Amino acid sequence: MIYKAKASHIGGAFSVIDILTSLYLGNILKVSPDSPDAPDRDRLIFSKGHCTSALYAVLAMKGFFSKDLLERFGEDESLLLCHTSHHLPGVEFSTGSLGHGLSFATGCALAAKRLSRTWKTYAILSDGELNEGSTWEAIQSAAHLRLNNLVAVIDANRSQGLGNTDSVLKLTPLAGKFAAFNWDVIEIEGHDHEQILHATSIDRSEHDSPLCIIAHTTKGKGVNFMEGKLEWHYRSPNEKERDQALEQLSR
Amino acid sequence: MRQAFIEELTLLAETNLNLFLIVGDLGYSVVEPFAERFPDRFLNAGVAEQNMTGLAAGLASCGFHVFTYSIANFPTLRCLEQIRNDVCYHNLPVTVVSVGGGMAYGNLGYSHHATEDLAVTLPLPNIRVIAPGDPFETRLATRELCKKPGPSYLRLGKAREPTIHAAIDGIKDLRTLQILQEGSDVMLVSTGGILEQVKAAAERLTQSGICAGYSSSPYLKPFDEAGLLSIALKTKIIISVEEHGVGGLSSLISETLHRNNMNTLFRCLKTQTENYKFVGSQKHLRAKHGLDEEHISSFAMTCLADLADAT
Ligand SMILES: Cc1ncc(C[n+]2csc(CCOP(=O)(O)OP(=O)(O)O)c2C)c(N)n1
């Protein structure tokens, strides 16, 4: 997809792909391609919309739309623009401007509470968008509202637009920050499906705060020449790099 | 107007179980009736307007019609991107309500004035933009918004605005230009709470023997183009009056006239950026910007005299 569209953000797509795969294909999320708008479905808000190629791929695998559509990523008249779009079945919320997802997710979780419904809401955030003040407004709000039906998963690849997160705007201690804002926090290895499945399926009914899962990940995971390299936030692979990457990923 | 709004909303919420009100930590002695009657459909989001608006969009996506309520610029400019992306682009039923449209918060200063809000909300997709001219228009606007929920901006004045319409039942269709008095020499067209000054100015002009009319345009989007064009055929000069800078009513009117090749003389009265430094009550500031009855009427006289000279 990214090669064909000459698109960016492959690094962040590879850091979040295991999280998405576990949630959708590991059947954590109660969603169904047969009724993408079912009122009581779980909601997943993908806030790091620039890495939407990963979400689209997983939604296609799940059956929300044909895998053929993926070939048209970023093309004229395609439904698949290069940021997350709600015009596609299975997508709750369009993103691309960082720092919007958690507020919207908070609204979905609050709606479930106020309507006495049981759906859960998951928000997937990048660590870079924790720079945004709006994200921290939402962090305060969700904890204040005691939304134990809300889970935020942070794709903590420690890298953002122009460098390492701590060198851009110091983020550590991240777990301590969420804890100080009255969230429950757990840290996991974000490419370990067992750990992701476990953390995202914890029964929260006895808790009275939202849960933050800090998933430690690697940007460009799975492709040795991409891992941890800032340039893969921007670059699109050429044909040779694509083939090498596919070869490494299929191992 | 805020009283009329909250009364209507509270009444409507009795039967419309989807109505939800979020405030940005204000509304003391205004929003309590709603909050007490419907605690499950009320939230104080705190001083956090971006989250208030994004959260409203989330609630709206799950079936609520959400009203966000704050002062002047706070529920619009402060969180414009949330209105644009989260609400309008997704076409979700969220109504942004601003109290203190224009310079209603007078001596609280520029930080508390809404003088660019129309310019930034009018271009947004799917939105309706409504600035009622009196408490009756406010009530009807609130009812219409609840009947047909969608992305919308309701720009209110503050408190104690006089009613200008004789009776609420006399308002046939709020979506049209509300002609309160016909005028073949000049027609003053206003939006929002400045209507009161416009009415007084029209009365002055009438006393001076001029056939002056005045009207209110509560709906700015969709804008009643047909109504404007029919005015343009019946009067010599159209003057728009609004407590807002460029990009609001004046822009809508000039664009409409131009696009339809109308050459009825058009002039506008609006706020000017160089006057934002002045301190004072709303009355005082309106005068500074030339938006009080005296300035409006003398401006109309001048325009008429110029027109007479030119022909
Ligand atoms: C509000 C906003 N500002 C700037 C950008 C441009 N932008 C795209 S991705 C990015 C940073 C990427 O870092 P991170 O958010 O941590 O994402 P990841 O490393 O997971 O790809 C920036 C600044 C944006 N999309 N939204």
Q: Do A107 and B81 touch (CB under 8 A)?
A: no
Q: DSSP strand E in B24-117: where?
A: 42-44, 65-71, 94-99
**What is the mean predicted confidence (pLDDT) over B229-236?**
97
Nearest to B59 among A86, A95, A107 (CB): A107
In this prediction, residue B210 carries a pLDDT of: 97
Q: Closest to A111 (Cβ–Cβ): which among B46, B50, B62?
A: B62
Mean pLDDT of chain B: 97
Using the beta-carbon criterion (under 8 Å), do A110 and B81 form an inter-chain contact?
A: no
Residue A137's H or E segment, with its range, is helix A133-144
Q: Is the pLDDT of residue B86 over 90?
A: yes
Provide the 10 A C-beta neighbour count for residue B137: 28
Please state the atom number of ligand 1 nearest to the C-alpha of residue A155: 20
**pLDDT at residue B152 is higher than 90:** yes
Nearest CA in chain B to A115: B40
Q: Is the ipTM of this complex over 0.90?
A: yes
With cut-offs at 50, 70 and 90, classify the pLDDT of residue B211. very high
pLDDT < 50 stretches in chain A: none
Q: What is the pLDDT of residue B282?
A: 96
Separation CA B175–CA B43 (nearest Å): 30
Residue B209 is encoded by which pair of tokens? 């023997």
Looking at CA atoms only, how far is residue A85 from chain B in angstroms? 10
User: Does B58 sit within 8 Å of A108, measured CB to CB?
Assistant: yes
Do A137 and B48 count as a contact with CB atoms less than 8 A apart? yes
Between CA A249 and CA A246 the distance in angstroms is 5
**DSSP category for residue B221:** E
- Residue boundaries of the structural domains of chain A: 2-249
- A47 in reach of chain B (CB within 8 A): no
Query: B5: part of which helix (H) or strand (E)?
Result: helix B2-15
User: What pLDDT is recorded for position A251?
Assistant: 84
Q: What is the mean pLDDT of residues B63-72?
A: 97
- Asked whether the beta carbons of A1 and A53 are under 8 A apart, the reply is yes
Backbone φ, ψ for residue B305 (5° rounding): -65, -45
To which residue do tokens 């698949």 refer?
A80
pLDDT at B17: 97
**At A43, which helix (H) or strand (E)?**
strand A43-46
Closest by Cβ to A107, choosing from B48, B54, B89: B54
Residue in the block written with tokens 């003057």: B239
Other residues' Cβ atoms within 10 Å of the Cβ of residue B209:
8
Q: Please tell me what DSSP assigns to residue B248.
A: S
pLDDT single digits (tens) A25-59: 999 999 999 999 999 999 999 999 999 999 999 99
Q: What pTM was computed for the model?
A: 0.97
A2-249 CATH fold: Rossmann fold (3.40.50)
Mean pLDDT for B222-246 is: 98
CA of A75 to the centre of ligand 1 (A): 22
Do B80 and B53 meet the contact criterion of CB atoms below 8 Å apart?
A: no
Say whether residue A81 is in contact with chain B using an 8 A CB cutoff.
no
Residue of A41, A104, A116, A135 best to disrupt the B interface, most CBs of B under 10 A? A104
Provide the pLDDT for residue B150: 98
Q: Does residue B311 have a pLDDT over 90?
A: no
Residue-range domains of chain B with CATH = 2-156 (3.40.50.970), 175-310 (3.40.50.920)
Name every chain A residue with its beta carbon within 8 A of the beta carbon of B59: 107-108, 110-111, 114
Residue B223 pLDDT greater than 90, yes or no? yes
What CA–CA distances, in Å, run from B154 to B101, B127, B139? Answer: 9, 11, 11
B14 CB burial (10 A radius; 0-12, 13-18, 19+): exposed
d(CA B287, CA A178): 51
How near does any CA of chain B get to the CA of A34, in Å?
A: 19
Segment B18-52, tens digit of pLDDT:
999 999 999 888 999 999 999 999 999 999 999 99
Query: How many angstroms separate the CA of residue B308 from the nearest CA in chain A?
Result: 54
Closest-lying ligand 1 atom to the alpha carbon of residue A15: 20
Residue B263 has pLDDT above 90, yes or no: yes
Peptide bond into B123 cis (omega under 30): no
Q: Distance between CA atoms of A145 and A107, rounded to whole angstroms?
A: 10
Query: At a CB cut-off of 8 Å and minimum separation 6, what does A119 contact?
Result: A30, A40, A41, A42, A43, A108, A112, A149
Q: For residue B60, give how far its alpha carbon lies from the nearest alpha carbon of chain A (Å).
A: 8
Residue A31: what pLDDT? 98
